[in-house]
């Protein structure tokens, strides 16, 4: 007798019991037949004679991968795309070129168009991605072949550039208090003093004019972004220009 009061018979005895049970099922009470078969159903698996039932695992719909489809291995790489070279060489090659009006979003679109002309598919559904900084840093996640094509295109772009050498652009975030800063621009008559609050476009134009007066031209490929709600002015320009811009922002407040 095993644990829990269950009799454990040798295998030949159990097989004989199965035969006797099947022969006498017609005359014996059905309760005895059921009980005997219940014992056999419990005892045989415990003795290793009946394999345990393994539940069938059904994969989720669409989860199975196509074994014939090759897996794309993606890599992350950083490039430097000279903004001066980019704005001279690339936009004229694109279907729609508005070089003077390129902001960060438009530069990103221009990069996508440029890569498409090179035969690269940067569709994010494939896991590919890229991130652009106004100072020329470009981070790309793509295949090895794509990254090699981008590197060759950047090298060729440098050869097509006709401009003179120039200082590298840097990004500097200058924190400020919006109300005193804008009031300082009003005192210089760069903003209207009649309106209680000037629009962001008006403040941006005033900032551009003020720094132009100081000899700093913030036209492309240089950039600047004024954020009134967060209280900062982000400027992308050569270091020499930044050394003029930052003290002036402090003085206007």
pLDDT, tens digit, 9 for 90 and up, residues 195-216: 778 899 999 999 999 999 999 9
Q: Measured on CA atoms in the order 120, 122, 126, 128, is the torsion positive or negative?
A: positive
Task: Identify whether 117 is preceded by a cis peptide bond (ω within 30 of 0).
Answer: no
Which pLDDT band holds residue 251 (cuts at 50, 70, 90)?
very high
H/E stretch holding 80: strand 75-80
- For residue 252, which of 209, 219, 217, 223 has the smallest C-alpha distance? 209
Q: In this prediction, what percent of the chain has a pLDDT beyond 70?
A: 68
Strand partners, 226: 233
Distance CA 84, CA 190 (A): 29
- For residue 115, which of 146, 92, 157 has the smallest C-alpha distance? 146
Residues constituting the chain: 253
- The predicted pLDDT at position 177 comes to 96
pLDDT, tens digit, 9 for 90 and up, residues 19-36: 544 544 444 455 555 555
Q: Which two tokens stand for residue 69?
A: 């489809």
- The predicted pLDDT at position 103 comes to 59
Break the chain into its structural domains and give their ranges. 3-46, 75-160, 169-252
Residues 87-103 have a mean pLDDT of 70
Q: Is the pLDDT of residue 73 over 50?
A: yes
- The predicted pLDDT at position 10 comes to 52
CATH number for the region 169-252 comes to 3.30.1370
- For residue 118, which of 101, 136, 142 has the smallest C-alpha distance? 142
248's torsion region: left (phi>0), alpha (psi -120 to 50) or beta? alpha
pLDDT, tens digit, 9 for 90 and up, residues 48-57: 554 445 455 5
Identify the DSSP state of 182.
H
- The predicted pLDDT at position 27 comes to 47
């Amino acid at each position: 007798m095993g644990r829990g009061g269950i009799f454990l018979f040798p295998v030949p005895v159990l097989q004989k019991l199965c035969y006797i049970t099947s022969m006498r099922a017609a005359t014996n009470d059905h309760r005895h037949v059921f009980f005997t078969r219940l014992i056999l159903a419990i005892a045989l698996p415990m003795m290793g004679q009946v394999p345990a039932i393994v539940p069938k695992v059904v994969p989720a719909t669409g989860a199975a991968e196509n074994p014939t489809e090759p897996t794309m291995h993606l890599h992350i790489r950083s490039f430097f795309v000279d903004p001066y070279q980019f704005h001279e060489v690339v936009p004229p090659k694109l279907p729609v070129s508005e070089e003077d009006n390129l902001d960060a979003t438009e530069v990103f679109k221009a990069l996508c168009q440029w890569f498409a002309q090179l035969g690269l598919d940067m569709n994010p559904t494939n896991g590919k991605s890229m991130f652009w900084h106004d100072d020329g840093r470009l981070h790309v996640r793509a295949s090895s072949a794509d990254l090699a094509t981008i590197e060759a295109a950047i090298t060729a772009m440098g050869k097509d550039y006709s401009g003179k050498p120039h200082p590298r652009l840097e990004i500097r975030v200058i924190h400020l208090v919006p109300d005193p800063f804008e009031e300082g621009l009003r005192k210089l008559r760069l903003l209207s003093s009649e309106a209680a609050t000037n629009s962001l476009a008006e403040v941006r134009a005033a900032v551009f004019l003020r720094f132009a007066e100081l000899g700093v031209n913030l036209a492309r490929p240089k950039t600047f972004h004024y954020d009134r709600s967060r209280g900062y002015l982000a400027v992308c320009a050569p270091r020499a220009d930044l050394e003029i811009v930052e003290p002036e922002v402090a003085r206007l407040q």
